[in-house]
Every structure is written in structure tokens, then in C-alpha cells.
Structure 1
Amino acid sequence: MNLERRRLMQAAAGSLLLSLAPVDIAWGAKMIAVRMWPAEEYTRVTLESDSPLKYRHFFVRSAKPIRLVVDIDGLQLTESLKRQIAAVKPDDPYIASMRIGQYKPGTVRLVMDLKTEVKPEVFLLKPFANYQYRLVFDIYPEHPRDSIGQILASRDDTDILSAPSEEDPLASVLESLGKDTSPPPAKPANGGTAGKPSGGKKPAPSKKPSRPELVIVVDPGHGGEDPGAIGRRKTQEKTVVLQIARRLAKLIEAEPGMKAILTRNSDHFVSLGGRVAIARKARAHLLVSIHADAWVKASARGSSVFALSQKGATSAAARWLAKSQNESDMIGGVNFKDVDRQVASVLVDMTSNWTIGYSLGLGTAVLQEIKGINRLHKNHVEQAGFAVLKGQGIPSILVETAFISNPEEEKLLRSGTHQQKIARAIFTGIKKQLAADSTLLN
């Protein structure tokens, strides 16, 4: 073999090795993080890696307890990964323990010991925002115990898919709240005095007919994998808005004739469609979504209130904010391939003109109350295409309580006293709007 031919063969072999090298590297995916979000509604386990994972899962029902087994191909098993998997919170409602081991060459097996029968959803997410590839396990209970889980588990979506109406869904509730629904006093019999019939017996107490409750859904934005905006002191939007939402819900519950429903009451992710579905299934009359704004400049400050728009955003900032809020599903992680028909349908804008009008009035009333405790970013209600406000027939507003990116306002948002002031302002605005809109009582 001459020298020139040998050089050509060596060059060709080197090229072949170089072309094969990326494939060999891609085969061994590296784990970046393992996260768990336990909640009564469902538990989420996320495996984040630098490349997509191939997997298959099945139950071992003969085992005690029942096991959910997941085989993952092309994953490197490390001591760090073992420690991450083993770090399961003992208070998780559905998973008793997790462990991982090398099942066979090239395959790692993840085993979850379950506390109860579950309906898992397992799916892959592509890189988005600060996340790389994610393999997601959503562990739903077979029989939901909490009210929100039961609402989402219901498959009756006729109320969601029905045609929109211009009728006022609040009228009957508000009419009964504004009138005395007790029966008229009994007429005197045999010459007796009303309420004191002859014979000396006390009349049986008459029961007031139960009047419909005004159901208000309070929606704390973000949650779980989606932290929302983050302040300079590492304050997460999802945390402070949940605290404010709980305070608002407590005020609503203390008001006779009103009922509050939280779309989430812990740190877990709820899709935008899921939030709207909760409001629809609960037959809500109002929805208030709580958020905390952020901007690239720390000087931006002030509170804002938004309503849905059918004609586009009222400003470039409103359009940008709606776009960023609507990306929550991409950040938090939704199984788009198997998304429930009900959840998908509620994101179609079927909102009536009456709903938009009432939302604007409600937003104005809330804005005026917030003005007494914080500077306003805009003096009027803005509008944009927020997905969470697209509940058919449900007047809805989105409150940006403050700029968490502003150090002064971030400090206020962390204060329990200020959180209570925000909740009280929103609640007072709701009550004033209900009292002021006399057309609802006709």
C-alpha cells in the first residue's frame, strides 16, 4: 500500500469517526433536574434532560402497593440521579416512594410505589424558555377527593359547548340578593294576633327559601413548573399571588350569599384551559385572576386591571403582556396531544358583548379601589386577548397587583399587611360594581 493511499484511508476513517461521534453522545442523555409538585388535585414529577428520552410505562397491580413502572432508554444512571429520585416528600398524597435502577444495558427503570389507584398522564415537552427537554408524569387520582379535582374529572361539557347568550347570567342571583325572600307573615286566625294564634302554641318557624349563591372564582396565576415573574429578591409571582388570592377568597366566603372557589390552593400547575374549565363547571358568575407584573426596567411600577378584548389589544404593552401570560401552558407544561376536548373548547372565545361590558365596569370599580393603596400604572382598564378570561358568559378581569420587578413594590407584595389591602380593595370593588349596576336588578 503506497503512502498516498494510506493517507486517504486514514482521512476517510477519521471522517467516519467524527460523523459517528455526535450520535454516540446523544445516546447517553444527561439528567439536569428532577422535580416534584405534590398537590391534592394531582402530583407532577418532571425529569429534565439535555436530550429527549424514549420511554414506556405500565402498572404492576399484583404488587403491594401498586407500582407504576417507567422504562427509560438512553439515560445515564448516576448517583446524583438516584439521590434526586429518592428525595420524595413524605406528604405526597399519591406516591409513597420512588426508586431508580439499571434495568438492562441502555435502559433505566423508574418505579413509583403508589398510595392509591391513579390515572397517570406521561408526556414529553420540548425545550421552552429556561427549560430543556422534560419527561412529565402527572399522577391523577382515580377518584378525586377535592372539589376542584371532581370538577375537572367530570366529563359533562354541555354547558361549555352550548351557544353563547346575550342574557345576563347574574340577574337572577343579584335579584334574589337584593330582595327579601322571606315569606309574608301569617294572617291571624280565630281573632288571634299575627304570630300568636289562639291555643297558646308557638307557630313553627318558617324557613327562608335558599337563595342562589354568587360564585366567584379566584384564580392565582402560574404555579408549579411555571413560577411567573421573579423579583430581584427572588420573590416568585406564583407565591405572592396565591397568598393574595387566599385572602380574597376568605373575604368572599365571609360575605353572606357569596362563595369563593380557588383554581389552585397550593403550588401546582393548572393549565389556562383548566382554569376556565373550573369556572365553567362551577357555574361561576365572576372570575378574578391575580397576577404580579414585571418589566425589563426596575423603574416600572403601579397596578393595572385588564379585561378581554374582541378587537385586539388596547396598547402594545397589553398585547405583550397577554402574549407572555398565554405562554403559561408552554412553560408549565401541558399534554397538548391528549388535551381534553373540554379544556380545548373553553379557550375558544365565545364571550358575549354583555360579558365584556360588565367586565369593564367591574375592572373600573376594582381599579378605583386599588388607587387608594397603590399607584396605578394606567388609569383605565386595558384590554387584550388573555386566554384565562375567555370563559363564555363569565365576566372576568385580570388584576396585575404591582410590578414584582420593582424593588419597592416587590417588598410590598411580600408584606402580609399589603396583601390584605390588595385583597380588600378587589373585594370592595366587586361589591360596589354589584351594587352600582342597576340594570342587573331589572
Structure 2
Amino acid sequence: MKAICWHGTGDVRVDTVPDPEILDPKDIIIQVTASGICGSDLHLYDGLMPTMEAGDIIGHEPMGIVVEVGSEVKKFRKGDRVVVPFVIACGCCFFCQKQLYSACDTTNPGADLAKVAMGQAPAGLFGYSGMLGRYPGGQAEYLRVPHADVGPIKIESDLPDEKVVFLSDIYPTGYMAAENAGIEPGDTVAVWGCGPVGQFAIQSAWMFGAGRVIAIDRVPERLEMARVHGRAEVLNFEDEKIHDRLIEMTGGRGPDRCIDAVGAEAHGTGSLDAVVDRAKQAMHLSMDRPHVLRQAIMACRKAGTLSIPGVYIGLLDKIPFGALVNKGLTVRTGQTHVQRYLAPLLEKVENGEIDPSFVVTHRIPLEGAPDAYEKFRKKEDGCIKVVIKPGMASEQRSSGDITISSEMIPPAIAPLA
């Protein structure tokens, strides 16, 4: 089969690799019909994630059709249409029993590597480094799915792929970010980063009763999406001093809840700490650029909450921990416990409460992924979310890109009363 493989910094290729096989009676094999390129895939593309090896198959946002079923699988049959969560969980361990699926104790073959870096090992993930299991990812024609009865959700309606594929990651991730923020009715929520996870965090903040949502980015298309589809007030950090504006907009108090949907590669144009971060990263003295995290800690109101869905990789420098402690902030973070959210969030899609396809800007065949990675990384051509469709006919390739406009895409959620 063909698959997107990592070969080093800025180097992903379409390789021919062996087809996946059933390795355990609890496995299924799916033929991938859609798979997203995620912002956290860019951490691999930029060479920031340790324990990657040339030839690793990447991608962790897949869905498709079941084509093989292990002998112990009870929930699925050939021909079923499924979305596969990026977290691989056993369903039986201490953490899975508490629905803390991304902390699963048994699914990470790279546990020893992870323990050195993190103290304990999280769950295995699709398409993501040796310390997270080196499971072949979903940017491929076929995918082996371990622990199938615990992971995928069956799609029994005729909803198109683009309305459900993001249940694999970014929709539950944005939703859990809003849940972790502890939003109370009427709260002001500030969201740093208007990429796909940030967009779903904005949508979800309203679902939890936010009174205001303020979205922060510098990319015009992302800010416009947050304004039109997220009904957010928007701030461009290249044009405004974010801390000062947030304090001003909240009457001197600061946002009640802050969500860092950026993570390891914050830009922070013009600020001294961001310049130092970039220099240290370039010299391999640091893995992460935590400008947004610092800014959120300083801006958040006293006794507020900071939620961090953005991916961080290693040790962070110059974090204002004294401010965090003395302001009495609550911090919640973690990889998403995707399995916990699949059924309730699918119900929201089926009921028309949200149409997750609003984030899609580019649709491409598998062969177009290397160019799409570079376009996504550089934020060119209005690229916010790429969906790879391995079965896309060659004659469709030239018309795969679309342009964002408020007229083309219906609002993601209905206006609040």
C-alpha cells in the first residue's frame, strides 16, 4: 500500500510499504477513506519530536471501512464504517476503567522511553514516535487498529466523512479543552490559537455556557473563521498587545478561563521572550516555545483556569510559576480521552448542533500530502485544515483546494438564545 512516511525534518514522502495485517485477535483492518493532517503532525515535520525514525508512517485522524476483523472482535464486521480515535486504549487497566483513556497503562510499546522523558508512560498513539508506541499511522491506504472494541465508533448514518472524521481527534480535543477550563455560565473565555483545535475549543466554549469568547491569532483566515463561525471577538497579536487588550476588555480583571491551543511552536511576534525561545530552539537548547503559556498565565484572572490542549514536548523555560501560584490558577491539560467523547459528540453532529466540516479548507489525494504539509506549515493559500482522501480520483486533484468564505460554509452551531 501507499502511505505518508516521515524521513526527517521537513521531509515526508509517499512510500510503498507492506499492507497491515491482523497481529492480534482484537485487531481490525480498515481501508482509509479520509484522514486529517493535524497541527501536532507539524511538530514531527519540524523535527521537534524525539524518537522518530525514517520510514515511520504518520497520521492520527483516520476513518474508513472495515475490511478485516480479528477473531475476538465483537463490535465490528466487514463493511462497517468507523472513525478511529488517535488514542489506543485497552479498556481494562486502572486508567481505562476511569475513562482516562490517554493514560492507558498497557498499549504503549515505547513505555520505557516515555518513562525516561515523562516519569510514567501515556497510552500509545497512532502515527507518533517511538516513545508513544511507533504505531503505523492513518495517512495511508490501510490501517491496523488494535483493541478495536475499545477504540473506533461505528457511523451508521449517511453523514459524509468530513462531518465525522474529526471525532478522531480535533473535535474531542477542543471539547475536552473547554471542559477542562471549567467554564461557568457567562464566563469570558480567551483562546490562543485559531487552528482547528482552537476553532473547536471556541465552538465548545459556547456549548458550556460562555458569555464571551475572545480568539487570538495572527493569520487573517483563521481569525475570520473564528469570527464568522465561532462568533468570537478576535485579536491579532501582530497588531495589538494581547495582555493589555485582554485586561482592558475584561474591565481590569482578565479572562475567567484561558485555553492554550498553540503549544510548542508559539510565534509571539515582537516579544523578547519569543525571540529568545526561537533562538534556543534553533540551537537545540530547547524543544518548546512557550510564549503563549506565559501570556495566558499572566492574563488569566485570579482564581481562574488555564486549559492546555496544545502539545508540549519537553522542558519549558522562564514560566512565571510565581504568578500561577500567587494568582491561585487551576491548570488542566493532557492528551484527549477521545473514547469518552465519541458517542455524545457524534450525537451533537447527528442532531445538527454542530457541523465540524466548517474547518476544512483543502481536500487532497494521498500523493498530494507532501506539498500540503509545506502549505499547512507556512499557512499559505488559506490552509487551515487538510483532509487526505486516499481514493480521490486523479482528475479531481487539481480542484482539491477551496477558498474560505462565510457564504460557502454554513455556521457551525446555531446562535445562542
More strand by share: 1
TM category (shorter chain) comes to under 0.3
User: Structure 1-normalised TM-score?
Assistant: 0.20
User: Structure 2-normalised TM-score?
Assistant: 0.21
